[in-house]
Chains A and B, each alone.
Chain A
Amino acid sequence: MDELLKILESLHPDVDFTTREALVDDRVLKSFDIVAIVSEIYEAFGVAVPPEEIVPENFNSAKALYALIERLEDE
Chain B
Amino acid sequence: MLFTSYAFVGFLALTLLAYYLVPGRCQWPLLLAASYVFYWAASPWYLLFILVTTASAYGVSLKLAALSGEQRAYLAAHGDLTREEKRAFRAGIKKRKWAWLLGCLALNIGILAVTKYTNFVIRSLNALTGGGLRPVDMIVPMGISFYTFQTVGYVIDVYRDRQPAQRNFFKLALFVSFFPQLVQGPISRYGQLSETLFTPHRFQEKTFSFGLMRVLWGYFKKVVLADRLLPAVTALTGDAAYTGAYVLAAMLFYAFELYCDFTGGIDITIGIGEAMGIRMPENFDLPYFSKNIREYWNRWHITMGTWFTDYIFYPISVCRPMLRLSKWSREHLGQAVGKRVTVYLSSFAVWLATGIWHGAAWNFVAWGLTNWAVIMISQELEPLYERFHRRFALRGKAPYEAFQVVRTVLLMSAIRMFDCYRDVPLTIAMLGSMFTRFDPRIFTDGSLLDLGLDGADLLVLGLGLAVALAVSLFKRKKGSVRQALYEKPAAVFYGTMAALLVCTVVFGAYGAGYDAAQFIYNRF
Are A and B interaction partners? Answer: yes
List chain A positions with a Cβ less than 8 A from chain B.
27, 30-32, 34-36, 38-39, 42-43, 48-52, 54-55, 74-75
B327 within 8 A of A: yes
Which residues in A have their C-beta under 8 angstroms from that of B160? 51-52
Q: Which of B86, B294, B317 contacts A35 (CB 8 A)?
A: B317
Kindly state the separation between the CA atoms of A64 and B346 in the bound complex, as whole angstroms. 25
Q: Mark B277-318, 1 if CB is under 8 A from A, else 0.
A: 000000000000000001000100000000001100111011
Which residues of B from 329 to 378 have beta carbons under 8 Å from A? 330, 339, 342-343, 346-347
Docked pose: A74 CA to B86 CA in angstroms? 11
Please give the distance in Å from A13's CB to the nearest CB on chain B: 11
Residues from chain A with a CB closer than 8 A to the CB of B309 are: 31
Flag if A54 contacts B83 (CB, 8 Å).
Answer: no
Report yes or no: A36 in contact with B339, Cβ–Cβ below 8 A. Answer: yes
Bound complex: CA of A21 vs CA of B235, how far in Å? 52
Interface of A: prevailing SS:
helix
Which residue, A27, A32, A38, A48, has most C-beta atoms of chain B within 10 A? A32
Does any Cβ of A come within 8 Å of B87's Cβ?
yes
Q: How far is the CA of A4 from the CA of B317 in the complex (A)?
A: 19
CB distance from A35 to the nearest CB of B (A): 4
Most buried by B among A30, A50, A74: A50
Chain B residue total in the interface (Cβ 8 A) = 30
Beyond known contacts A38-B317, A42-B326, A50-B318: 13 more, CB 8 A cutoff: A30-B294, A35-B314, A35-B318, A35-B343, A36-B342, A39-B318, A39-B322, A39-B323, A48-B318, A51-B314, A52-B159, A52-B161, A54-B310
Contacts of B322 in A (CB 8 A): 39
Alpha-carbon separation in the docked complex, A40 to B509 (Å) = 55
Bound-state Cα–Cα, A75 to B320, Å = 17
Question: Do A39 and B87 form a contact, CB below 8 Å, given A49-B318, A54-B314, A55-B162?
Answer: no
Contact B162 A52 (CB under 8 A): yes
Closest to B86 in A: A75
Rounded to whole angstroms, the CA-CA distance of A71 and B315 in the bound complex is 20
Residues on the B chain within 8 Å of A34, using CB: 314
Cα-based distance from A38 to B162 in the complex (angstroms):
20
- CB atoms of B327 and A36 under 8 A apart: no
Pair A48/B323 contact, Cβ less than 8 Å: yes
**CB of B90 within 8 Å of the partner chain:** yes
Minimum C-beta distance from B13 to chain A (A): 39
Query: At the interface, yes or no: B379 with Cβ under 8 Å from chain A?
Result: yes
**Distance, CA A35 to CA B322, complexed state (A):** 10
Can you show 27 pairs from A to B with CB atoms below 8 A apart?
Answer: A27-B298, A31-B313, A32-B347, A32-B379, A34-B314, A35-B314, A35-B318, A35-B346, A36-B343, A38-B323, A39-B318, A39-B323, A39-B327, A39-B342, A42-B323, A42-B326, A43-B326, A48-B320, A49-B318, A50-B318, A51-B160, A51-B310, A51-B319, A52-B160, A52-B161, A54-B314, A74-B83
Task: Take A36-B343, A39-B342, A43-B327 as given contacts and tell me if A51 and B315 are in contact as well, using a CB distance cutoff of 8 Å.
Answer: yes
Rounded to whole Å, the gap between the CB of A45 and the closest CB of chain B is 12
Give Cα A42–Cα B294 distance, bound, in whole angstroms. 26
Please give the distance in Å from A62's CB to the nearest CB on chain B: 19
Report yes or no: A75 in contact with B87, Cβ–Cβ below 8 A: yes
On chain B, the residues within 8 Å of A32 by CB distance are: 343, 347, 379
**Docked complex Cα distance between A49 and B379 (Å):** 24
**Beta-carbon contact of A39 and B313 below 8 Å:** no
Give bound CA distance, A49 to B160, whole Å: 13
Q: Which of B310, B317, B342 has the most CB of A within 10 A?
A: B317
Cβ contacts under 8 Å, B320 to chain A: 48
Residue of A nearest to B350 (CB): A31
- In the complex, the answer to whether B318 meets A51 with C-beta atoms within 8 Å is yes
Interface string of B408-426 (1 = CB under 8 A from A): 0000000000000000000
CB neighbours of A43 from chain B (8 A) = 326-327, 330
Give Cα distance in the complex from A49 to B285, angstroms: 30
**Whole-angstrom distance from the CB of B326 to the nearest CB of chain A?**
5
Q: Mark B71-113 against chain A: 1 for CB-CB distance below 8 A, else 0.
A: 0000000000001001100100000000000000000000000
Residue of A nearest to B375 (CB): A32
* Given A36-B343, A52-B160, A52-B161: A42 and B327 interface contact (C-beta under 8 Å): yes
Complex contacts, B339 vs chain A, CB 8 Å = 36
Interface residues of B in 470-508 (CB under 8 A from A): none
Q: Is the CB of A35 within 8 A of B83?
A: no
Digitize B219-262: 1 where CB-to-A-CB distance is under 8 Å, 0 elsewhere.
Answer: 00000000000000000000000000000000000000000000
Q: Please measure, in the bound complex, the distance between the C-alpha atom of A42 and the C-alpha atom of B324, giving whole angstroms.
A: 9
Nearest to B347 among chain A residues (CB) is: A32
Distance A31 CA – B379 CA, assembled complex (angstroms): 13
B257 to chain A, nearest CB (A): 30
CB-defined contacts of A39 to chain B, threshold 8 Å: 317-318, 322-323, 326-327, 342
Shortest 6 CB-CB contacts between residues of A and residues of B: A52-B160, A35-B317, A51-B315, A51-B314, A42-B323, A39-B326
